[in-house]
């Protein structure tokens, strides 16, 4: 049953990712775009005219003037997430924040704490969980169809050329953005934890090989999960000349699954003892006929609208989930800096 009212959202940060948020809000039957905010006047004017919505240059001004706003979507560079979340939460607004939740554990914990203090809900945008292939793999793991796990692999072999980083001064910086792990591969790291459980230890190397940035453009890690099986992380934005592969692989005593392609949307390999060939073909064909499914951004934003309407409902991707992915990235950085294994 559709709610009679629409939850009012506001966007802070009118960059590329904000368009996904706005489209998701506009496509929802229970969400409505009430306002946008950006410190860049040209970009603010462009978005305001394109989406026919009132624009503000200050988040405080927006929240003071538009008191009906219920949810603030933070779509700014990552280093700005904490101060903006603090303001929004102190105005008693629920928050949807783009990944990563923050760039430091202190900032992530501060965001979670201020939301709890103000009794507002917090969701972090990790949309890849909702891809049909990932939902299938999650169901496979939940039902223990692969038996005892040998090892898993998370790979991001993408291209972000120098022109990409030169488009904005904050890109590739340690203060506002981070490197391939914090920006691109954090989705795969979130999936590793979500699919396979907590990680106990990492041994990692990072480097800046081809891009003129402060942060890493390539990283490799070996990880040990709490259940005892091993994993490998490979992440790079140095692949020539375009995105090559994003994949999640898992190998067990009773089956193996590889989800891959340029983005991890397709079943590249599946063989599970419990499935006959007809069942396997049906599963693969179902995903290949609709590899993208409903947008993860749409699911997360629609979920937050339901959470606002229903006080007893909590976000499907929580602040704590976002913190766990960040914790893994920071452990990889620490291991690389210290040149030794690091326990999470």
pLDDT of residue 220: 98
Q: How many CB atoms lie within 10 A of CB 10?
A: 26
**Measured distance CA(77)–CA(325) in Å, rounded:** 17
**Measured distance CA(219)–CA(13) in Å, rounded:** 29
* Percent of residues in the chain assigned helix, strand, coil, to nearest 5: 40, 25, 35
Kindly state the tokens that stand for 114.
Answer: 């201020």
Using the predicted structure, report yes or no on whether residue 1 has a pLDDT greater than 70: no
Structural Rg of the chain based on CA atoms:
20
pLDDT of residue 48: 98
pLDDT of residue 3: 53
Give residue-wise pLDDT tens across range 194-218: 999 999 999 999 999 999 999 999 9
Give residue-wise pLDDT tens across range 59-104: 999 999 999 999 999 999 999 999 999 999 999 999 999 999 999 9
Q: What strand order describes the sheet that includes 218-225?
A: 266-272, 255-260, 245-252, 149-157, 230-236, 218-225, 199-207, 342-343
CB 33 within 8 A of CB 24: no
CB 36 within 8 A of CB 76: no
268-276: list long-range contacts, CB under 8 Å, 24+ apart: 272/140, 272/145, 272/146, 273/145, 273/147, 274/145, 275/145
Give residue-wise pLDDT tens across range 119-142: 999 999 999 999 999 999 999 999
Kindly state the tokens that stand for 229.
Answer: 């099986």
As a whole number, mean pLDDT of residues 163-189 equals 96
pLDDT of residue 320: 98
- Helical ranges in the chain per DSSP H: 16-27, 41-51, 59-65, 81-90, 105-117, 132-142, 162-166, 180-183, 186-196, 277-289, 296-309, 319-338
What band does 23 get if pLDDT is binned at 50, 70 and 90? very high
Could you give the domains of the chain? 7-127+295-316 (3.40.50.720), 128-293+327-343 (3.30.360.10)
**What's the pTM value of the predicted model, to 2 decimals?**
0.96
Query: What angle do helix axes 319-338 and 105-117 make, rounded to 10 degrees?
Result: 160
Percent of the chain with pLDDT over 90: 99
């Amino acid at each position: 049953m559709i709610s009679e009212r629409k939850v009012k959202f506001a966007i802070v940060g009118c960059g590329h990712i904000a368009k996904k948020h706005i489209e998701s809000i506009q496509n929802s039957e229970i969400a409505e775009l009430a306002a946008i905010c950006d410190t860049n006047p040209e970009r603010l004017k462009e978005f305001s005219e394109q989406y026919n919505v009132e624009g503000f240059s200050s988040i405080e001004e927006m929240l003071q003037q538009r008191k009906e706003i219920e949810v603030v979507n933070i779509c700014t560079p990552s280093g700005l997430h904490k101060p903006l979340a603090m303001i929004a939460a102190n105005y008693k607004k629920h928050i949807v924040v783009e990944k990563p939740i923050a760039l430091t554990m202190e900032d992530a914990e501060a965001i979670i704490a201020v939301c709890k203090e103000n009794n507002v809900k917090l969701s972090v945008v990790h949309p890849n969980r909702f891809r049909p292939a990932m939902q299938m793999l999650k169901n496979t793991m939940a039902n223990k169809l692969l038996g005892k796990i040998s090892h898993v692999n998370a790979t991001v072999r993408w291209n972000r050329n120098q022109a990409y980083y030169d488009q904005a001064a904050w890109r590739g910086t340690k203060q506002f953005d981070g490197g391939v792990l914090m920006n691109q591969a954090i989705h795969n790291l979130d999936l590793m934890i979500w699919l396979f459980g907590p990680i106990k230890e990492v041994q990692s190397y990072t480097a800046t090989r081809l891009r003129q940035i402060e942060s890493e453009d390539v990283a490799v890690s070996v990880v040990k999960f709490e259940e005892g099986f091993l994993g490998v992380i490979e992440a790079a934005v140095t692949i020539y000349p375009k995105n090559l592969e994003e994949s999640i692989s898992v190998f067990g005593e009773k089956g193996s699954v590889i989800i891959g392609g340029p983005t991890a949307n397709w079943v590249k390999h599946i063989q599970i003892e419990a499935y006959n060939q007809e069942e396997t073909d049906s599963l693969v064909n179902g995903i290949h006929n609709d590899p993208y499914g409903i947008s993860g951004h749409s699911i997360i934003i629609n979920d937050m609208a339901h959470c606002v309407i229903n006080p007893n409902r909590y976000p499907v991707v929580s602040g704590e989930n976002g913190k766990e992915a960040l914790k893994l990235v920071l452990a990889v950085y620490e291991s690389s800096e210290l040149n030794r294994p690091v326990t999470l």
